[in-house]
Amino acid sequence: MSVRILQNKCVGCGRCLSVCPGNLLKKGEDGKVHIRNIRDCWGCTACLKECHTGAILYFLGADMGGMGSMLSVKEKGDVRVWRVDSPDGQTKTIEINMKDSNKY
């Protein structure tokens, strides 16, 4: 599994639906987004980047050096806050102002 959607944080905006290249997401009867078949997800993270509520989590496996951490993104105006929650309880955040993102 590479992507997980937290239903309690999903607001049903559908931004993730429009960017998923595999058409793997759908809106449920509850108005929230669900993954059609988790096994089909190849982990491109397009949905993660479009979710501004932090409802989509990306699993960082050992092969990526994440050792089971979960990555999420929230938007605060022009700033995107990338958060990595480790299985041991540690949390790291990276804040990037989108106006400055091409300076790197």
Tokens of 91: 């949390």
pTM of the model: 0.78
The residues, any chain, with a CB within 8 Å of residue 81's CB and separated by 6 or more, are: 73, 74, 75, 93, 94, 95
User: 39-88 pLDDT, tens per residue?
Assistant: 888 889 999 989 989 999 998 876 666 678 888 988 889 998 989 998 88
- Domain hosting residue 14, numbered range: 3-103
Question: CA–CA separation, 54 vs 91, rounded Å?
Answer: 14
How many domains would you assign to the chain?
1
* CA–CA gap between residue 78 and residue 68 (Å, rounded): 29
The arithmetic mean of pLDDT across residues 9-17, rounded, is: 95
CATH number of the domain where residue 70 is located: 3.30.70.20
